[in-house]
Structure 1
């Protein structure tokens, strides 16, 4: 159904590498030629960088790919009692780029929770703290006013959040994903097993109630992040699965209201996870974005 072969989770894990971030063991992946333009892929909640596995090989043929499992996710450290923060996750992305010796402008492709990290990186770009070359968002809570969290997210944020996290299971994951994936692009039992393997690794459900604090943090940062998106100077595109109840067509409509000259793509029959539901389409629209960007840069240079 996907049109792309993907990478088996066991093989993906074998390709991972390690580095330390503020004393924590982090897992990251790279691919592509070191001389190619760097492309940073940032995953969402509650999954991990394996979300990009269908896109990984085709994108690596053109770009230098970098991705990590963020703190509290996947195969990276999941410290108990930690005050998880989107700002710290942005620090992590910058630390990984520094670890790899990448100093040139970086392209970003982000999803869900990763969209918020990308928004923070975009704000930092405008503050002169790093250089971004472009940013493409998939479904995510770019605007708190259009973010419609699923029930388990609301419960994780409640006073019983720690209990809800401990009770989270593969069965509950399947129920949540059934609601946010498109009706024709539901995850297979094998995919659900793999998603759950990454979430449950190192007792991940035990920190979910701490990770979920990203939702109020988004509200705190909203004005700064939206202004960064409105400022221009960094080419942006939104590729959005329209059937997503969390951040689908209603979020895309808000994006078009708020972002000048909005560059958007609506995937009409796709839900919250376009990169796993319709990776060939995401690849097509991402490469078209980059090709248009390259053409503009060539024209500017020639002019």
Structure 2
């Protein structure tokens, strides 16, 4: 390995969970408020390469690679489930780093892990207090998603092996660089080269069919998980890259309107106008700006862009106890 991948690997270490070696890393002051960053599919904690050091200026930041991803073990013919990863996240936060409260910031597949973890915390089934939940660019409502042909092919038993037999780590990373980053990135880009190296580590391509089964698990439980969110008192922010075609903005607006806009606590919907699916790569400054503002309670009172700059993050909406009626809107002062 070299470049970003080697640097990220050198920053971390391992702990044992069940029969697996799990990679994790910490940044910042260990006594500062905690932020746990939860990665998506098919990538790993290296997605937070540009975000973690920026957040760590004022916070303790922790990341881990779930089994089957990044620098963690990737055994074949093993179930890779969201429920298992919720168990792991709870163990990691409580037993490995000794934390009992903090913010959880998730992306893509990690949104589903974070939703279940939040439900457990609300129910008293996990000894952790989530002070804020940030969900970004994840297909949390599959009917509005745009799965790629590659995702559908590797999902199904009858097509997965023939596809994955010819996919290389470099090819997988290059395809993502051209479709899920804005502007598109070549295989020589440091972030794309790092993805290729993490895919190659422990032969990650070989377990892609297994790890993508989370979509089936998601489809069977998404209504329950989103309904749990709608009743949660955990402050929640949806933060979305507008250029995403896989988890398009309509996913965010549907979840906001249906489950978040009138739920308890302070909740917000933000867009990053020039970011794609991997918004933490495309606009790390904007990503950190929004996360820092919501954690510090410094969000604008009224919706709008933070500045006149075209790339400025946009606060789209804030929650309210209930929607006003049309008559209330039209009533005189």
TM over 0.5: yes
Hey, what's the Cα distance between the residues in 1 that align with 2:204 and 2:38?
18
- Pair 101,172 (structure 1): closer, same or farther in 2 beyond 3 Å: closer
Larger % of helix: which? Answer: 1
Aligned to 1:298: none
**What 5-or-longer segments of structure 2 have no aligned partner?**
262-266, 300-333
Q: 2:279 pairs with 266, 274, 280, which one?
A: 274
Aligned to 2:56: 60
Q: Number of residues paired by the alignment?
A: 289
Q: Is the 8 A contact 2:241 2:272 kept in 1?
A: yes
Aligned to 2:216: 216
Q: Are 2:284 and 1:288 aligned? A: no
Q: Is the 8 A contact 2:242 2:274 kept in 1?
A: yes
Q: Is the 8 A contact 2:4 2:190 kept in 1?
A: no
TM-fit CA distance, 1:157 = 0.8
User: CA-to-partner distance for each residue in 1:218-242, whole Å, 9 max, x for gaps?
Assistant: 0111122101221131011111011
Hey, what's the Cα distance between the residues in 1 that align with 2:235 and 2:51?
21
- Pair 184,176 (structure 1): closer, same or farther in 2 beyond 3 Å: closer
Greater shift, 37-46 or 73-82, is seen at 37-46
**Which secondary structure does the structure 1 equivalent of 2:105 belong to?**
strand
User: CA-to-partner distance for each residue in 1:44-94, whole Å, 9 max, x for gaps?
Assistant: 111111110111112112111111111000110001110110110111111
Q: Is the 8 A contact 1:270 1:278 kept in 2?
A: yes
Q: Are 2:122 and 1:119 aligned? A: no
Q: Is the 8 A contact 2:146 2:247 kept in 1?
A: yes
Q: Is the 8 A contact 1:107 1:134 kept in 2?
A: yes
Aligned to 1:149: 147
User: CA-to-partner distance for each residue in 1:174-208, whole Å, 9 max, x for gaps?
Assistant: 12431222236777533221101001211111100
Aligned to 1:242: 242
Aligned to 2:160: 161
Hey, what's the Cα distance between the residues in 2 that align with 1:56 and 1:78?
24
TM-fit CA distance, 1:95 = 1.4
Greater shift, 84-93 or 97-106, is seen at 97-106
C-alpha root-mean-square deviation of aligned residues, in Å? 2.0
Provide the TM-score with structure 1 as the length reference.
Answer: 0.89
**Which secondary structure does the structure 1 equivalent of 2:30 belong to?**
coil
Q: Is the 8 A contact 2:241 2:271 kept in 1?
A: yes
**What 5-or-longer segments of structure 1 have no aligned partner?**
1-6, 295-303
Q: 1:132 pairs with 130, 133, 142, which one?
A: 130
Aligned to 1:44: 40
Misfit runs of 4+, over 6 Å: 184-187
Q: Is the radius of gyration larger for structure 1 or structure 2? A: 2
Higher RCO structure (Cα 8 Å, ≥6 apart)? 1
Q: Is the 8 A contact 2:142 2:219 kept in 1?
A: yes
Q: 2:7 pairs with 8, 11, 16, which one?
A: 11
User: CA-to-partner distance for each residue in 1:73-120, whole Å, 9 max, x for gaps?
Assistant: 011000111011011011111111123352422210111111111111
Hey, what's the Cα distance between the residues in 2 that align with 1:110 and 1:37?
17
